[in-house]
Amino acid sequence: MKKVAVILSGSGVFDGSELYETVISLLAIRRAGAHYECFAPDKDQLHVVNHLSGEVAEGEKRNVLVESARLARGEIKPVTECDPEAFDALIIPGGFGAAKNLCTFAVDGAESQPDEDVLNVCKAFAQSGKPAGYACIAPALAASVYGNKVKLTIGNDESTAQGLEELGAQHVECAVDEIVVDSDRKLVTTPAYMLAEDILEAEAGLNKMVETVLSMQ
């Protein structure tokens, strides 16, 4: 049975992992007969967003690992405990936490800096030739991990795509229910909720992403 490491970035689309993307990805992994284990950085979130009003909750602090545990039903470890040698593949769902807590793309754009612990794990997967899937805005992190004109997508948002290209990636426009594959790097990306207006639209691309990642040798 293949084992997949899943890195989360909190709980909630505006300041953490996108819930639907995460659940769909985990379900797709299990439906494919693979096993997953969840990880997250043990640090404070960039900020906390009130998901009812959409406004930043001033003065409130939450921990990325603790919040991610909500999605993982408590079965989660610090990303520093992720040993890439113990896994066959890596999946990173989107949600703005991927661009706020796993890297600084949401704030710094083309000057984005990845979280050091997350970068170490992601680079270890990349350097060992193990396949990975990054969804939604998570390719902002992938651009820093792979660089060197790696092919990836966030859909078709021009300003975001430009920022990724300035980080060294090659952006490819992609429909919501499709994927972009960089076969040389074994990287699979899909727009998910960068474009999706419905959970079914997001599901189609996410399922293809997970299935493609798991089919890679």
With CA atoms as reference, report the closest residue to 169 among 151, 191, 187.
151
Query: Would you give the distance in Å from CA 99 to the centre of its chain?
Result: 9
Q: Is 136 a catalytic residue?
A: yes
Amino acid identity of 155? G
Which entry of 82, 103, 122, 136 is annotated as an active-site residue? 136
> Residue 109, class by beta-carbon neighbours within 10 Å (0-12 exposed, 13-18 middle, 19+ buried)?
middle
Report residue 136 as tokens.
């939604």
Q: What's the rounded Cα separation, in Å, for the pair 165 and 162? A: 5
- Catalytically annotated residues: 136
